[in-house]
Structure 1
Amino acid sequence: MPFLIILLFIGFVILMSSFFTVKQQTAIVIERFGKFESIRNSGLQLKIPIIDRVAGRVNLRIQQLDVIIETQTKDNVFVKMKVSVQFKVIQEKVYEAFYKLEYPHDQITAYVFDVVRAEVPKLILDDVFVRKDDIAVAVKRELNEAMIAYGYDIINTLVTDIDPDAQVKNAMNRINAAEREKTAAMYESEAQRIRIVAKAKAEAESKKLQGQGIADQRREIARGLVESVEVLNNVGINSQEASALIVVTQHYDTLQAVGADTNSNLILLPNSPQAATDMLNNMVASFAASNQIGEQMKKQPKRNKHLEDKTSLDYNPRDTTNPAE
């Protein structure tokens, strides 16, 4: 009885070992007596106990391998580059991926090193940053040609990081900072020029308006003086006395305006009452003298013309008589 139970237990174990499951996006390689038998895909699978065995599992999902390479550029700058390779096993070529290539990661890494160290030394450091996509394309092209025979498909390759030497990075940062400062200085100079031009235009416009205002003011003052002289003439004061009186009045108005400003340092001379009287008498006398000179100058051309006419009458070119005779 115990022997039968043992046999039943062994039979149950063997039966259960005949069944196995395969996960999604996974392939299992079955060998029979050490020889390849079949490839089983996802789901519940059956194998012959003891005779068949699971040789290995192959991952069919997309995988990523990050490769860090240190290389030298054309301008002798050492850089570290990080290349990310995305790949997967082709489902129809699981046999090649399992049996032909033992260490796929090492194989991919070797090809990435070979391509990067062949492409980067052709470029200067600035071009490495600009043409990183070209480097990634070259890596993908070489990997596809090499790995397709082993059942691997290269989905994509990306240059995810370019790290120059620390001293080179500091120099590049200083260059960038200097370029930005240069650009900022150019913009500041242009802004300063615009401000100066705008200020000059504003001052010119202000001077123009100020000149127009002064001209209008003087025109109105002259018109007021004319009207004042006409009013004084109407009351029996001649033009010379009226002009002198107006000037004296403006003199006293100026003294009053200067005295009203407590912070003024202006001194107006002469400013005494006697000085004002003398100034009035002097102006009246000067105006009178000016009028007399003007009248004499008006009479002088008439007198000269009279003398010329008399001379022309006394002289007759046809008269041959000698005046001495």
Structure 2
Amino acid sequence: MELVAFLLLGIAVLFVVRSVKVVPQQHAWVVERLGKFNATLAPGLNFLVPFVDQVAYRHSLKEIPLDVPSQVCITKDNTQLQVDGILYFQVTDPMRASYGSSNYVMAITQLAQTTLRSVIGRMELDRTFEEREMINAQVVSALDEAASNWGVKVLRYEIKDLTPPAEILHAMQAQITAERGKRALIAASEGRRQEQINIATGEREAYIARSEGQKQAEINQAQGQAAAILAVAEASAAAIRQIAAAIQQPGGEQAVQLKVAEKAVEAYAQLAQKNNTMIVPGHMGEVSALVGTAMTLLKAGKAGG
């Protein structure tokens, strides 16, 4: 009796184990009924028909990184290039992932390698280092189109390393060194050119400043001379007006005659001091004639005024 009870208990436990399934979060289990696809179990508690239904495939719906093995690619300019990359994909259709390919991971890996060789084969070596983003995008586009039949979504592909041969690396380093030397020479020549420009500009501005200063000084000097001449002329005019007014006063003509006579005597005295030979008029009456002539000129000027 006890043996039968244990047997029944074991059968009950077996039925429970075969019929009750708990699926973890971000997982999907594919169930076959009598060898044929029946359903996809969602995360949580699920019930199956014992001995009729069975879990055939278990898939993780998380994003999965896949290391694509390193391979040698030939560029358009016939240069070998060692390429290493990593692929990120996610199962979006558990049923297709189960029955679309016998091994979708291997299929994605092989397709990534062949696509990468094709993309790099259309590019020159220098462009492969500059166009990584474009290479990644083309690989993802080709893989995603093919992997849709396998229930897989290819999210992105990243090139981890591009390694050319040692001699190519040496040549590239020499080219970089030469380019940097060229840029240094250009920078130095540009510096010297700018220095010469700055010096020439400074000298030009200094010359302009000096010439402007000299011009202003000459203008100021000319204005000063003009002002001095004008002042002298005004003073001479004022003196002449005063003399003319004095002549019109009583006794003015006699004063002028006396002044003219004094000037004549002074002139003869100076000639006597400066020359060994003295020139005098034939008789002193000529002095009176000279004074008379001067007075006649003064009267004529007075009458004309």
What TM-score bracket applies, with the shorter chain setting the length?
0.5 to 0.7
RMSD (Å) for aligned C-alpha atoms: 2.9
Matched residues in 1 for 2:14 and 2:52: separation?
A: 11
Q: Which runs of structure 2 are paired with 1:1-325 in the superposition (5 Å)? A: 1-17=1-17, 18-67=19-68, 68-91=70-93, 94-195=94-195
**Structure 2 residue matching 1:45: 3-state secondary structure:** strand
Provide the C-alpha distance between the structure 1 equivalents of 2:163 and 2:60, rounded to a whole number of angstroms: 33
Q: Cα deviations across residues 2-33 of structure 1 (Å, max 9, x unaligned)? A: 21431243134224302121011111112233
Aligned to 2:260: none
Shift of 1:200: 8.2
Alignment correspondent of 1:308: none
Counterparts of 2:6 and 2:202 in 1: how far apart (Å)? 113
1:82 deviates by 2.7
Structure 1 unmatched ranges of 5 or more: 210-325
Percent identity over the alignment is 30
Cα distance in 2 for residues equivalent to 1:196 and 1:9: 104
Report the Cα offset of residue 195 of structure 1. Answer: 4.9
Partner-residue secondary structure (3-state), 1:145: helix
Rg (Cα) greater in structure: 2
Task: Name structure 2 gaps, 5 residues minimum.
Answer: 211-305
Amino acid at match of 1:157: Y
Amino acid of the structure 1 residue aligned with 2:37 = F
Per the TM alignment, residue 202 of structure 1 is displaced from its structure 2 partner at its CA by 8.1
C-alpha displacement of 1:198:
6.0
Q: What is the distance in 1 between the residues matched to 2:54 and 2:157?
A: 36
SS at the partner of 2:117?
helix
Structure 1 residues 200 and 95, CA gap change in structure 2 (3 angstroms): closer
Cα–Cα, structure 1 residues 165 and 2, in superposed 2: closer, same or farther, change >3 Å?
Answer: same
Quote how far apart the aligned CAs of 1:123 are: 1.6
Q: Give the counterpart letter for 1:41 in structure 2.
A: A
CA-to-partner distance for each residue in 1:129-173, whole Å, 9 max, x for gaps?
A: 222333222222222222212212222233343221222122212
Q: 1:90 to 1:185 in 2, by over 3 A?
A: same
> What amino acid sits opposite 1:38 in the alignment?
A
What amino acid is aligned across from residue 6 of structure 1 in structure 2? F
Which digits, 9 at most, give the CA deviation of each residue in 1:46-90, with x for residues without a partner? 122333222120121222223233111122211122333222222
Mapped partners of 1:148, 1:203: distance in 2: 75
